[in-house]
Amino acid sequence: MPLLLGFIFGGVGFAVGAGLLGAIRTSMGLEFWSTDMSWSIAYPVALLGWLAGVGGWKYWATEWFGGTPAVSPKGVSRYFEFNMDHKVIGIQYGVTFVALFLLSGLTAMAIRYELMHPGMQLFNEDQYNAAMSFHGIGMVAVAVAIVMGCFGNYVVPIMIGARDMAFPRINALSFWLVPPVAITLVIAVLLGGWDTGWTAYPPLSVLTKSGQTLFNLAVTTFGVVSILGGINFIVTIIYERAPGMTWGRLPIMVWGTFAGSIIAFFFTQGFAAGLLMVLFDRVIGTSFFGAAHGGSALLYEHVFWFYSHPAVYVMVLPAFGAVLEVLSHMSRKPLYAYKWVVGAMLGIVALSGVVWAHHMFTSGMADYLHAPFLVLTEMISIPTGIIFLSVLGTIWAGRLWVRTPMLFALAFIFNFTIGGLTGIYLADMPTDVHLHDTYFVVAHFHYTIMGGEIFALFAALYYWFPKMTGREFNETLGKIHFFIMFIGFQLTFIPMFQVGVRGMNRRIADFPAAYEGANVWISMSGFLLGISFIFFTVNMILSWVRGRQAAANPWGASTLEWQISSPPPEHNFDEIPVIQEGPYEYGVPGATPHARLTGAVKHA
Amino acid sequence: MSKQSHAAAGESADQRTGFTVFLILAVLTIAEYIVAVGLDSKVALVVMLSVAAIAKCWAIVVYFMHVSRLWRGEEAH
Amino acid sequence: MAVATHDNAHADPTAHAWERVRINRLGLWLFLFSDAGLFALFAASRFYLSGTARDPHLNQALGLAITSLLLLSSLTAYRAETAFVHGNTARGRAMLLATIVMGLMFAGGVAFEWATAEFPVAELYGTAFYSMTGMHAFHVITGILFLAVVWARSGDGHFSGGPKVWPITATVMYWHFVDVVWVFFYPTLYLLK
């Protein structure tokens, strides 16, 4: 019902925005409707309408005008409207982004079908661009937001002993901006798509069809989601920690989320600024990127990569956190070199902002920039190496409990190592000149983002599934999912390195016949990879609906979220817990438990 | 001295701070304008305007936006 | 320390309210910092594209006038907050109203300048000028809306005393932020040559 109201109000908002603009344009002697401008004006109004409709008015904004906010209901219906509980929002993020993940994955299947043979099979070139672009932005959005949005929201407040996030209403607001983003992108595809992938490089993005405008509007909104979410996590982790939860006792997932949030809040406006400039060029005729009046397309690449390189650390730092969490608990050993890992994460935050131009070695930027960006980029391998040292030290001689989440966490290590090592050839200017814009790059970032972040996502998903749903997942189906996905993934992306070295360009709908053999292989393996998600989806649905009741602490883990019932009660804790020891003291002689849940210290 | 008039005295002291800061901001702004009209050297202009802008920003952030409340709290005064 | 006061919070409603204000304050500062980054990138783009060059047709008198107006509105905003902090609702409301009026005049000044400016949007300087003043004006207008909401709600002593003043403080901080942006944009757009 609130969803319906959201759509109605959103539609009304769109009509009002477009109508007002049309009235002004008509009075100035112009045509009523101008696609780019009408969308740009109507879209924000539609957003406000949607937010009001899904509950933003009823539960929040009415207060500014002297009204009394309504009280949220308890049942299943609260998942379908504006709700302030961080656990509800976590699940909302999780379900929405898994759906978007599967949808973007389907477009990948279509892309692989198209690329199996030279010539055009399924698509024409325009449709190929639309599919490739949607796959790109859909997956980037999933990768940026799913670990933090879903598990960050659900688990981090519990882990630090808080009853909720610092800004529950902002939290709900950020989530409810996500569905319009997804819907707008789908509408853009249905209206003919856009041509520029997820990067929206001008001058093409300024000159191409109007789907680009919808893309820019939607992704700018997504930037707002990312910034608000980042701020919320930073303030929550600074101010909402339970007594005794010092910075040195924070579970590593919390540190990963904190580090990722700093990047999200500090850099995301770069993407927003770039997209707004493209929008200004398209709609009001500015010349940021129009060479005719002296504008510079290179400016966009600088502004865009200023965000979009740090963005990969927004994806991967919380993923590191989740993987280290799983590895430590399921190896039954203390997290090796905890303080060094924290330092490494903050080191990555610091370095992330000074490496962006390694995406631009072939762009024609000033030559003197090449060497510094090469060196700075290589320096990232130092903190990353420390994290890998911690990973190996943690599982070294541990009693590994190889359940599905552990399998995914171990696979993460394998994949991310390959992703990291192949990154060296792209950070080194001399090799990058040859490899730039080939399938080598595609393989590299799929190894880091899919092999790294998405495998970490599934580690986290299986690990916290019992906590979040109160049900056990099916271990057999989970393992089948893992093995098909892992094997399919390797078989798909290893050959891509090879065709990339042989010079096959990315972002193309057709290719020379010489590459056919490899592409048949890649596509077949890609379909195998796709099949694994059928097992995943079936497992999730069946287990959630009729899985066995999960115990409060099925993994015997020490962190706070496992010390309360599955799923946790409404405000997480009856009494605010007291933290007395670090979270990973497995087998440490004389260690007291991580937290005390009752009999908290009484204040005068 | 009643509590009421004590509060009023506190307020007028705070309001005076506001006027002083505004006066500084106004002088700096006028100085910026005069320098921009009169000065021909581009480099000197960039330097002087940057200094003036940073000074103005600092005054607003410290005295108008009370940045120190971030670490000292407001209730502590 | 925040951690130490956590349990106290529920016992003492005033302490709890102050705790809330402290949390909100950090959130607002982070938001403003993040927003400042957006403005900074536009200012940087202006220098990247056209150096410090400016169009000779600028209306310098109007520029100085609206700059002074915005500076003055920052003073009235400060006076409004100070008055509310000391429980002086009447003066606080008057000063809020003065801020709103000056904000509207500033927005009007920008609109007039847009209507009369002689340089096209497609030129490099026009690109920087219209996009930067436009984004700033958008923030001015949202600031006016926030000011209007707190002004309308301040009648019944709603925002008097201690932590209850926070909505006023937050709105006024946002307004000062808009002024800070203009402190940098004014020399960037009008004074450099």
Q: Is the pLDDT of residue A593 over 90?
A: no
Contact (Cβ atoms closer than 8 angstroms) between residue A46 and residue A10: yes
Report how far residue A561's alpha carbon sits from residue A573's, in angstroms, rounded to the nearest whole number.
10
B63 lies in a domain? yes
ipTM entry: 0.93
pLDDT in tens, A483-506: 999 999 999 999 999 999 999 999
Number of structural domains (chain B) is 1
Report how far residue A393's alpha carbon sits from residue B20's, in angstroms, rounded to the nearest whole number.
60
Q: Does C158 touch chain A (CB under 8 A)?
A: no
Contacts of B27 in chain C (CB under 8 A): none
pLDDT value at residue C118:
86
Q: Which of A328, A473, A309 is nearest to A398 (CA)?
A: A328
Q: What is the mean pLDDT of the segment spanning C112-131?
A: 92
Task: Compute the mean pLDDT over every residue in chain C, rounded to the nearest whole number.
Answer: 90
Least CB-CB distance to C45: which of A266, A294, A303?
Answer: A303
Dihedrals phi, psi of A471, to nearest 5 degrees: -125, 155
Report how far residue A427's alpha carbon sits from residue A378's, in angstroms, rounded to the nearest whole number.
7
Lowest-pLDDT range, A153-157, B3-7, C77-81? B3-7
| Helices assigned H by DSSP within A502-551 | 516-546
pLDDT value at residue A517:
94
B3 lies in a domain? no
Report how far residue A597's alpha carbon sits from residue A581's, in angstroms, rounded to the nearest whole number.
13
Task: Compute the mean pLDDT over every residue in chain A, rounded to the nearest whole number.
Answer: 93
Q: What is the mean pLDDT of the segment spanning A580-593?
A: 88
pLDDT value at residue A323:
96
pLDDT in tens, A260-274: 999 999 999 999 999
Burial class (CB in 10 A: 0-12, 13-18, 19+), C65: middle
pLDDT value at residue B4:
53
B68 lies in a domain? yes
B37 lies in a domain? yes
Q: What is the mean pLDDT of the segment spanning C134-151?
A: 96
Least CB-CB distance to A239: which of C23, C42, C130?
Answer: C23
pLDDT value at residue C1:
34
Question: A380: number of CA atoms within 13 Å, CB side?
Answer: 27
Query: Is the CB of B42 less than 8 angstroms away from the CB of C52?
Result: yes
pLDDT value at residue B56:
96
Domain ranges of chain A: 1-83, 84-591
More confident residue, C101 or B39: C101
Lowest-pLDDT range, A37-41, A341-345, A592-596? A592-596
Q: Does domain A84-591 have CATH number 2.30.30.240?
A: no
B11 lies in a domain? no
Q: Is the pLDDT of residue B77 over 60?
A: no
The subunits that touch chain B, with at least 3 C-beta pairs less than 8 Å apart, are C
Q: Is the pLDDT of residue A194 over 50?
A: yes
pLDDT in tens, C43-73: 999 999 988 888 888 899 999 999 999 999 9
pLDDT value at residue C11:
64
Confidence of residue C2 (pLDDT cuts 50, 70, 90): very low
B38 lies in a domain? yes
pLDDT in tens, A64-119: 888 889 988 888 888 999 999 999 999 999 999 999 999 999 999 999 999 999 99
B55 lies in a domain? yes
Which chain A residue lies closest to C45 (C-alpha atoms)? A299
pLDDT value at residue B75:
65
Q: Is the pLDDT of residue B76 over 50?
A: yes
B42 lies in a domain? yes
**Nearest chain A Cα distance for residue C132, angstroms:** 11
Contact (Cβ atoms closer than 8 angstroms) between residue A438 and residue A506: yes
Domains in chain C, please, with CATH?
Answer: 60-193 (1.20.120.80)
Range of the domain at B50: 17-72
